Chain A
Amino acid sequence: MANFHAYAAKGEIMYWRCFVGVLTREMLKFWQQRTRLLSALVRPLLWLFVFAAGFRSALGLSMIEPYDSYILYEEYIVPGLSAMIVLFNSMQSSLSMVYDREMGSMKVLLMSPVPRPFLMGSKLIANTLVSAIQVYIFFAFALILDVQLSLAGYLYALPIIALLSLFLGSLGLLLANYIKQLENFAGVMNFVIFPLFFLSSALYPLWKMREANEWLYQICAFNPFTSGVELLRFALYEKLATQPLLIIIALTVITFTFAVRSFRPKANKGRFA
């Protein structure tokens, strides 16, 4: 196995090149699909500029953590809409995995000699980078509405965006394994994205939900996306939400483990063959 010995001698370099290759591919595809960036931004910007303007007076906000003073509704929903960008981008990434599988290019990835957990991790990191770019462009647009945070807040948000993206990306990978056809992706929208988003604190504080319905409040509080939104909200105000952080870390580990396991070759199944 002369050829292998040459590779084995440069194990770490091989992993690094593989990682750069996956990252480059995802960036190239992201750059080529510029309409994807546009559509990813239009959605939260509509919420911010239109929905928030209409609901500003309807939704009174009391002073809650992490805010030190009363805030406008526009400011309240910026963390939730940022998390929404990450959520949609992660699900978009899972859609591209389903597409890759249907088109056959998934086989090329799975035939790499590098271990699959590393390959999946590389894809998730590439997805995280795309999400972060989109979120920071959104922050720039939010400045138009005077939603300006401190520089430290923007910096604190970065690792949280990365963590949230890893969690939601792992969830997307897991889902990609169970979505057998591209057409079934509409089901993901209805049964995963919308419930996660609307049953969270992204658009309204949980105490508002509690006033309306105790059961709905409990569901929203249990929703991991709420933890992600609150984690990001606190980070943007230079604060750490310990409990949501632990929840998201634990869920990231669990979903990533299951996602990687689901991509192992199986007997008697023709999905990747």
Chain B
Amino acid sequence: MGRGGQMEVNISALFHRYGQREALCDITLALRPGLTMLLGPNGAGKSTLFALITGLQKVGRGNIHFDGKALASNRTQVLSKMGVVFQQNTLDVDLSVQQNLAYFAALHGMSIKDALKQVGELLEQLELTERLHTKIRDLNGGHRRRVELARCLIHRPSLLLLDEPTVGLDIASRQLIFDVVQDLADKSGITVLWATHLFEEVKPQNQLIVLSKGHVIADGRCRDLLTLHNQPDIEHLWQIFMHTQQKVK
């Protein structure tokens, strides 16, 4: 698989509201090459943060910079280097796997030849080669998720955003997706932000950002956070954070 280089994302003093409801409050964080887990319960603000990073929603207050550049003034450059798996299924169910991937590749200006080559490699890695001509409608949830992951990698992004990519999947599919992403982050050095509400998905070596009620309540290497809070494992660490959340209430 080809690699797209590295990208750094810096978010500073980011706020976001839906009417009177505060979704994000004073978020300041930096995403560096490698895998960063964004852990938070439902309603913590993870999807809102994704919507702001991807530019699907406008940043009202605060800044998001990609390699020092704002999205608004460098939309083409930034989006051409960004790959996203949304929480919601975004595949066209009436089209086949190949047609969905070719459509996405075209939207990023890739040639059919390059796209098909890349698609072949990705599908092999994600064990989907035999599903190339299957309509999305006829795929199970695990396969659909894999297609979404393949799609967001076609254009060799430098920044990968995954919004709860394994929700509702069986253990084998979850493990496969995790292994592919971890491998990508380790070997290519691309920047990956993986949002989840499942603490089991966080590994000690991962960078970890914990989001709760729109606030960042922890940010650092998971192993360091375990030491800092004197906890034996991530499950216990998570319980500490949830206790903190209760206090925020």
**Contact A18 to B106, CB < 8 A, known contacts A4-B81, A266-B57, A273-B47:** yes
Does B9 make an interface contact (CB < 8 A)?
Answer: no
Q: Looking at the complex, which one of A13, A108, A269 makes contact with B107 (CB distance below 8 Å)?
A: A108
Interface size class of A (residues with CB under 8 A): 35 or more
Q: Check if B109 sits within 8 Å of A10, measured CB to CB.
A: yes
Stretch from A22-30, A45-53, A60-68 at the B interface: A22-30
Q: Check if A22 sits within 8 Å of B57, measured CB to CB.
A: no
Interface size on B, residues (CB 8 A): 52
Query: In the complex, which residue of chain B has the Cβ closest to the Cβ of A269?
Result: B57
Q: Check if A111 sits within 8 Å of B109, measured CB to CB.
A: no
A-chain residues with CB within 8 Å of residue B67 when the two chains form the complex: 1
* A1-28 near B? 1/0 per residue, CB < 8 Å: 1111001101001110110111011001
Q: Check if A104 sits within 8 Å of B88, measured CB to CB.
A: yes
Q: Check if B89 sits within 8 Å of A21, measured CB to CB.
A: no
CA distance A105 to B107 in the complex (A): 13
Q: Check if A103 sits within 8 Å of B95, measured CB to CB.
A: no
Q: Looking at the complex, which one of A25, A104, A268 makes contact with B86 (CB distance below 8 Å)?
A: A104
Does A258 make an interface contact (CB < 8 A)?
Answer: no
Residues 43-65 of B at the A interface (beta carbon under 8 Å): 47-48, 50-51, 54-60
Does A253 make an interface contact (CB < 8 A)?
Answer: no
Interface of B is mostly: loop
CA distance A29 to B93 in the complex (A): 10
Taking the closest CB of chain A, its distance from the CB of B85, in whole angstroms, is 11
**Contact A3 to B109, CB < 8 A, known contacts A28-B95, A265-B57, A273-B48:** no
Residues 106-152 of B at the A interface (beta carbon under 8 Å): 106-111, 151
Q: Check if B59 sits within 8 Å of A112, measured CB to CB.
A: no
Q: Check if B54 sits within 8 Å of A111, measured CB to CB.
A: yes
**Contact A15 to B109, CB < 8 A, known contacts A1-B81, A110-B56, A113-B80:** yes
- The listed residue with most A CB atoms (<10 A of its CB), out of B17, B19, B57, B81, is B57
Q: Looking at the complex, which one of A15, A24, A32, A272 makes contact with B103 (CB distance below 8 Å)?
A: A24
Q: Check if B109 sits within 8 Å of A114, measured CB to CB.
A: yes
Does A267 make an interface contact (CB < 8 A)?
Answer: yes
Interface of A is mostly: helix
Q: Check if B105 sits within 8 Å of A21, measured CB to CB.
A: yes
Does A107 make an interface contact (CB < 8 A)?
Answer: yes
A-chain residues with CB within 8 Å of residue B231 when the two chains form the complex: none
* A108-136 near B? 1/0 per residue, CB < 8 Å: 11111111000100000000000000000
Residues 128-146 of A at the B interface (beta carbon under 8 Å): none
Query: In the complex, which residue of chain B has the Cβ closest to the Cβ of A4?
Result: B77
Q: Looking at the complex, which one of B57, B60, B108 makes contact with A273 (CB distance below 8 Å)?
A: B57
Taking the closest CB of chain A, its distance from the CB of B189, in whole angstroms, is 13
Taking the closest CB of chain A, its distance from the CB of B97, in whole angstroms, is 13
Query: In the complex, which residue of chain A has the Cβ closest to the Cβ of B95?
Result: A28
Interface residues of A (CB under 8 A from B): 1-4, 7-8, 10, 13-15, 17-18, 20-22, 24-25, 28-29, 32-33, 103-105, 107-115, 119, 264-270, 272-273
9 smallest A-B Cβ distances: which pairs? A21-B106, A14-B109, A273-B51, A104-B90, A112-B107, A113-B79, A267-B60, A113-B80, A104-B88
10 contacts between A and B (CB under 8 A): A8-B76, A13-B109, A18-B107, A24-B106, A25-B99, A104-B88, A111-B79, A111-B82, A113-B75, A268-B60
Known: A3-B4, A4-B81, A24-B102. 9 other contacts (CB 8 A): A13-B109, A17-B106, A18-B107, A18-B108, A24-B103, A111-B79, A112-B108, A267-B60, A273-B50
Interface residues of B (CB under 8 A from A): 4-5, 16-19, 47-48, 50-51, 54-60, 67, 75-82, 84, 86, 88-95, 99, 102-111, 151, 155-158
